[in-house]
Chains A and B, each alone.
Chain A
Amino acid sequence: MITGQGITKTFRQRGGVLGGRDVRALRGVDFSIARGGAVSFIGESGCGKTTLGRILAGLESHDSGEITIDGVSMTSLRPRARRPYFRRIQLIHQDPYSALNPTRTVHQTLAAPLALRARQTGRAKGWIDERAEELLGLVGLDPGHVLPRYPHQLSGGMRQRVVIARALTVDPEALVADEAVSMIDVSLRLGILGLLRDLRERLGVSVLFITHDVATARYIGDDGELYVIYRGQVVERGPVETIISAPVHPYTQALLSAIPVLHGLEVPGGQPVTPAGALEEDEHDAGCLFARRCPFATGRCSAEVPVLGRTGDIPQEHACFHPERRSVVAMPAGRA
C-alpha cells in the first residue's frame, strides 16, 4: 500500500525574457493505491502527472506532504533508509527508445540488475540467466530470440516489454507507467496493456498509469481508479467507468469532450463541454482554479475554493460547486 497526503511541489523556473517564475506543479495531492491496485492519472500537459509519478518513485523530492509505503512514513526516514522502499516502485519511461542503452544487448540490460539482486539475496550465479528468461517469458517475449539482441533490432512494442522486464528485475511492488503505451503502435498497444493487467493479477504489482488516452485506462483492469488532475490538483476521482460515463466536474467533461470521435463508427456525446482559453499555469487565481475557463462558473466559484469530496448522490469525489452529470463521450454508432 502506497499513500500520499497533501503532496506539494513548486518548481522555480528561470525563464529567458520572461524572467523567473514559480510553477506550482502539485498543490496538495492526496493519493492511495492498494497492493495490486490500479490508479490512472489524466489531465492536460503540464498539470503535474509526471511530477507526481516521479515523486512516488523517489526520483523527485516534494516540498510538503507525506508519503507512506506499507505504513512507513518516508518523510521520517533518512534518504539512505528510504532507498530500499523506493526501489520497490519502478518508473517505466514513456519512450522505450531512449530508456534502453543502445550498446547493450537485452541480456546485458537484464543481467546487471539481476546480479545485484542475486548478491542481495544470496543466490547462485546460475539464477541470473534463469530469472532473465523467466522475466522475458512473463512479458511475452521469446528469450532465445530477444536475449542476444540490441535495442535497435527490436520493435517498439518489444522494447517496451524489455523495459518492463528490466523494471521487474527488482521485484517491484508498484510500477509507475508514464505514457508507457502512447509511443507504441496501435496494433501492439493492447498487448502492453494486457501485460500490465496481468502483472497486477498474477504478481499483485500495483500499477500507476499516467496517460493522455483515457480509453487505455480501462485496459489495465477492472476496479481501477481514475484521478483527473488540473493544475496540480485532483478535481475528480473515482472508478474509471463511472468517471468516463458520468463525469460531473466541468474540467473532466472538457477533457473527455476533446477525445476525437471516430465518425462512422461513433456518434459524438450529446453535451460536449469546451473550455475557454488555454491552460496558464502562472495565472493567480482565488477560488476554483478552473473558473476562468469554466462555462458553468458562478460568482461563488471565483470567491471560494471547492474541496475534493462527495456530495449528494454522486458516487465519485469531485471538487466543484455545481457538479452535474453530462454525457460527453462518443457512443458506438449502433447504440445511439
Chain B
Amino acid sequence: MPVTPSATPGRKSAPGVRIGGLTVVYRTPAGELPAVSGVDLELPPGTITGVVGESGSGKSTLALSLLNAVQPPGRISAGSVEIDGLGDVVALRGEELRRARGRHVGYVFQAAQNSLNPLKTVGKQLLDLGRSHGVEDLRALVREARDLLGRMGLDGARVLDSYQHELSGGMRQRAGIMFALVLNAHLVVLDEPTTALDMITQATILRIIREVHEERGLTTLVITHDLGVVAEVADRLAVMYGGRLVEQGPTRQVLSDPRHPYTRGLIQAIPRLVGDIGEARALPGRPPTLATVPARGCVFRERCPLRMDVCESEHPPAVAHGTRLVSCHAVEAGAQEHGGEAVAAGAREEQA
C-alpha cells in the first residue's frame, strides 16, 4: 500500500495508552452507580485494540474517558488514563483538554452517522474544525480531507459540498473517520464504526480502518458489540461485561480458546453461517443494567454455569495466563483452567 505523502510530514509516533483502575459513575435516583469499574487496559503503541461487550456494558463510557469527555451526570471517580505525549488526561482541564481532542486523540462517536451538523456542509464544518484548532493552512487541510475521503472510496469534493441528508449512512461514517484523522491525531477511538451499515459497506470501512492505521502509524481503539468486527480488525481484544473487563488478550487466541465463561458464552451464541445451527447456543439470562450490576462479587455470576460460593462475595481479580488476562475465580484455579481447555478442545473436535 503506497504511503500518501500527506501522512509523512510531521509524522508523530503512535502513542501508548495505559488505563489504570478507571471507574466512571453516573448519578441516578438510586445514587451514583458505576458504569465502568476498576478497568485496567493497556493499548500498546501501533496496535488496534477491540473492546467488545453487549449494550450497556460500559463501552462508550470507557471510550469517552480516553478524552476525559464523560458528561454529567457521569464523572470519572477514580483511576488514570496515561497517554504518551499527553500525560494523564484525567487531570487535564479546559483549553489543554480541548486542544488534545482532535490534535492528539481523534474520536468517531457512536452514531457518527447522525452527529454531523445538519445545517452546514461537511466542508464548512471542516473549516470550523481547522479554525478552532488554529490550523493556518486551511487549503492544505481541505486537500488532506479530500485525500482521506478519496482513499475511503468517496468523491472527496462532492462529500465536502454536501449536507448530511445528502449522504448515505456509509458515507457519513466515512466523513466521521475523516474528521477524526484530518488533524493528524495518532490515537484514534472509533465507537461502533460500522453499526447499521450493510456487510459490503462494513467490509470497506474495516479495510479502510486497517489501512489508515498502518499508513499513518496509529494507536487505535475500536468499540463494538460485534465480535466479527473485532475479529476482522483488532490485534488485541478486551471483553467487557457489567462495567468490568473480564478477559483480554490477542484476538485470535481469545476467539479460538476463550477462557472466561462469559467470553465462551458470547462466542457460542453467534449464529453460525455453516455447519450445524445447533452449535450456536443462547446464553441464559440477560445482561445487567446499571441498577442490577451486583456491587460485590463477580458481575457475571447470575448467568454463569461455573459459579461458586466465592463468586458471591469476592470480585475475581484479573490474573495473567500467558498473554491473557482473565477475571474469573474458576479460571484462576489451575485445575479448572486445564479442565476448561479440555472442554474447549472437545468442542472443536465435535465441530470437525
Contact of B166 with A189 in the complex, beta carbons under 8 Å: no
Interface hits, A157-206 → B, CB 8 Å:
157-158, 185-191, 193-194
Q: Return B144 CB to nearest CB of chain A, in Å.
A: 22
Contact of B231 with A264 in the complex, beta carbons under 8 Å: yes
A102 to B179, CA, bound (A): 35
Contact of B198 with A260 in the complex, beta carbons under 8 Å: no
At the interface with chain A, which of B19-27, B249-257, B330-338? Answer: B249-257
Contact of A187 with B163 in the complex, beta carbons under 8 Å: no
Q: Contacting B270 at CB < 8 Å: which of A186, A279, A329?
A: A186
Specify which chain B residues have a CB less than 8 angstroms from the CB of A261 in the assembled complex: 228, 231-232
A319 to B164, CA, bound (A): 35
What band does the interface of chain A fall in when counting residues whose beta carbon is under 8 Å from B?
35 or more
Q: A212: CB under 8 A from chain B?
A: yes
A42: nearest chain-B partner, CB-CB: B199
Contact of A16 with B166 in the complex, beta carbons under 8 Å: yes
A279 to B170, CA, bound (A): 11
Contact of B281 with A185 in the complex, beta carbons under 8 Å: no
Contact of B166 with A329 in the complex, beta carbons under 8 Å: no
Contact of A155 with B287 in the complex, beta carbons under 8 Å: yes
Interface hits, B242-283 → A, CB 8 Å:
251-256, 265-267, 269-275, 277, 280-283
Contact of A45 with B170 in the complex, beta carbons under 8 Å: yes
Specify which chain A residues have a CB less than 8 angstroms from the CB of B228 in the assembled complex: 259-262
Q: A331: CB under 8 A from chain B?
A: yes
Contact of B269 with A189 in the complex, beta carbons under 8 Å: yes
Q: A44: CB under 8 A from chain B?
A: yes
Contact of A190 with B251 in the complex, beta carbons under 8 Å: no
Contact with A along B192-208 (1 / 0, CB 8 A): 00000111111110100
Q: A265: CB under 8 A from chain B?
A: yes
Contact of A335 with B351 in the complex, beta carbons under 8 Å: yes
Contact of B54 with A329 in the complex, beta carbons under 8 Å: no
Contact of B272 with A259 in the complex, beta carbons under 8 Å: no
Contact of A331 with B274 in the complex, beta carbons under 8 Å: yes
Contact of B206 with A187 in the complex, beta carbons under 8 Å: no
A212 to B169, CA, bound (A): 14
Contact with A along B275-295 (1 / 0, CB 8 A): 101001111001101000000
Specify which chain B residues have a CB less than 8 angstroms from the CB of A335 in the assembled complex: 275, 351-352
Contact of B54 with A185 in the complex, beta carbons under 8 Å: yes
A254 to B198, CA, bound (A): 12
Specify which chain B residues have a CB less than 8 angstroms from the CB of A191 in the assembled complex: 282
Q: Return B13 CB to nearest CB of chain A, in Å.
A: 27
A96 to B236, CA, bound (A): 32
Interface hits, A281-299 → B, CB 8 Å:
none
Contact of B225 with A185 in the complex, beta carbons under 8 Å: yes
Q: B120: CB under 8 A from chain A?
A: no
A165 to B225, CA, bound (A): 26
Specify which chain B residues have a CB less than 8 angstroms from the CB of A189 in the assembled complex: 269, 271, 282
Q: Contacting A193 at CB < 8 Å: which of B198, B266, B271?
A: B271
Contact of A218 with B272 in the complex, beta carbons under 8 Å: yes
Contact of A17 with B200 in the complex, beta carbons under 8 Å: no
Contact of B287 with A45 in the complex, beta carbons under 8 Å: no
Known pairs A187-B265, A215-B272; A45 contacts B201 (CB<8 A): yes
A199 to B272, CA, bound (A): 21
18 A–B contacts from the bound complex (CB under 8 Å): A16-B166, A185-B55, A186-B227, A187-B269, A189-B269, A213-B271, A218-B272, A219-B277, A245-B274, A255-B199, A255-B200, A260-B206, A263-B255, A265-B255, A265-B267, A279-B200, A332-B351, A335-B275
| B interface list, Cβ under 8 A from A | 54-55, 153, 161-163, 165-166, 168-170, 197-204, 206, 225-229, 231-232, 251-256, 265-267, 269-275, 277, 280-283, 286-287, 289, 348-349, 351-352
Using A17-B166, A264-B231, A332-B275 as known contacts, list a sample of 17 further A-B pairs with CB atoms less than 8 Å apart, ordered by residue number in A.
Answer: A16-B163, A44-B200, A45-B169, A187-B265, A187-B269, A189-B282, A244-B273, A245-B274, A254-B200, A260-B202, A260-B226, A262-B255, A262-B270, A263-B251, A264-B254, A264-B255, A333-B256
Closest 7 CB pairs of A and B: A260-B228, A264-B255, A264-B252, A334-B352, A264-B256, A258-B203, A187-B283
| A interface list, Cβ under 8 A from B | 15-18, 43-46, 155-158, 185-191, 193-194, 212-216, 218-219, 244-245, 254-255, 257-265, 275, 277-279, 329-335
